[in-house]
Amino acid sequence: MRYSNYINGEWLEPVSGEYKNNTSPHDNQVIGEFPASTEADTKEAIDAANRAFPGWKKLSYQQRGAYLLKAAEILDKNAEEIGRDLTIEEGKTLKEGIGETRRAVSILKYFAGEAMQPTGNVIPSSNPETMIYTKRVPLGPIGLITPWNFPIAIPVWKMAPALIYGNTVVIKPADLTPKCVYHIMSAFHEAGLPKGVVNCVFGRGSIVGNELVENPDIKGISFTGSNPVGRAIQEKAIAKGKKVQLEMGGKNPLVVLADADIDKAVDLAIKGAYQSTGQKCTATSRVIVENGIYENFRDGLIERTQALKVGDPLSNDTFMGPSVSKNQYDSVLSMIEQGKKVGELLCGGGVVEESSLDKGYYIQPTIFALSDQNARIAKEEIFGPVFSLLTAADYREAVLMANDTEFGLSASIWTNNLNRAQQFIDQIDAGMVHVNSETAGAEPQVPFGGMKNSSAGPREQGKTAIEFYTQVKTVYYDQH
């Protein structure tokens, strides 16, 4: 099937007439053709968003929220079909695909609910005849550049706050997962959003994304993806006077102290590292274990990992599917080879050798034992089913190791010691901290984002989303 861009409330062919095949990572079968759009397509979408902005801005929060609720209802009604398409396109399991779609429904409902929340403050003045108050106003047309690893949830968690606060949107989805965003556009279209409020242009980041960054009518850029691309976007966009929000990489540690329940801690490590094939910015990438329980923990981890079912993500008993693409597959295998040079391979370490999977990008869940915290595999984000196991003499050394990274997105500790848990919360350099739960996972009503090189700009999700998608106007109202 051939799909189109969504611009000004219509499905439009690309100006170039060119399309790109979209294939499944499970078997490389073509599942659709999507536009290879040009600057001209992107400019048309931006013009539509710019024209629609004044009218959308004038609507009440409640009127805008009603559209979000309608779109949520449509996504929810089609959650199983959309979740299945997500699984076929991206490779995560069917349970995860349907779950992600329903997560998008929750995000839309949450931000529709924000239509009833305060958006300003009344502040006492030193002059008894003056009333001072603040109000929030939208930025204007916003450019959204979204990744392939959460191809339903992340676009929605950017679009929903952008829309409820009165902005219009042009979104450039990841090349690898366009069909998921097509479903989102279809839901907004069916919900009856005014023309030009949401627009979607499929194509390469170097073309579509660059025009979003360079075009003066785009007032803000929200990006999720790799650090090199994010920093390049930040530099260009700030030079143009745009507001910028970046969510980038992670090298997330799980610290396991000697008082931990080993079976439960092993379960946390497995879920955090391998669900979604490790293709999460919040995935567990380093497990740091106190010496006293290291051997028992290691043995339990190996046993559980070797028992995992890797295969067709549409199968109900599959725990882990394929990497999303050939490039990602090759990148992960390259990091595994690096790991073999510096660490002890405890399990995995290669491709899944099963004839029914030989056309897909399947990698064995892999664990390395490392003695060198400075090894490349312990420093760089892998974005695959691979993690490093390290030992620490005590809590203090474990925290030092956990913080020894350029990233600071998510971190977790397993302990029954309340004092240690609180110390970890205070001492870890991470934007999101988990106690006795995995490093991955986020709820829509709370802020999402990291420290150091993991994030830049205001946080996403929750009530903090308003910080990026609006600006503050202070009003002095004098009575005469």
Look at residues 99, 46, 83 and name the one whose alpha carbon lies nearest to residue 183: 83
Look at residues 400, 420, 402, 398 and name the one whose alpha carbon lies nearest to residue 411: 402
Mark whether 295 is an active-site residue.
no
Distance CA 45, CA 111 (A): 24
Distance CA 156, CA 144 (A): 10
With b meaning 16 or more CB within 10 Å and e meaning fewer, what string describes 330-368?
A: eebbebbebbeebbeebbbbebbeeeebeebbbbbbbbb
Distance CA 70, CA 107 (A): 13
In 249-313 the beta strands, taken as DSSP E runs, fall at 252-256, 284-290
φ and ψ at residue 285, rounded to 5 degrees: -115, -20
Active-site option among 89, 96, 114, 247: 247
Look at residues 331, 146, 169, 158 and name the one whose alpha carbon lies nearest to residue 230: 146
Q: What angle do CA 212, 216, 220 make, to 5 degrees?
A: 60
Look at residues 362, 173, 377, 368 and name the one whose alpha carbon lies nearest to residue 277: 362
Distance CA 294, CA 368 (A): 14
User: Active-site residues: which are they?
Assistant: 247
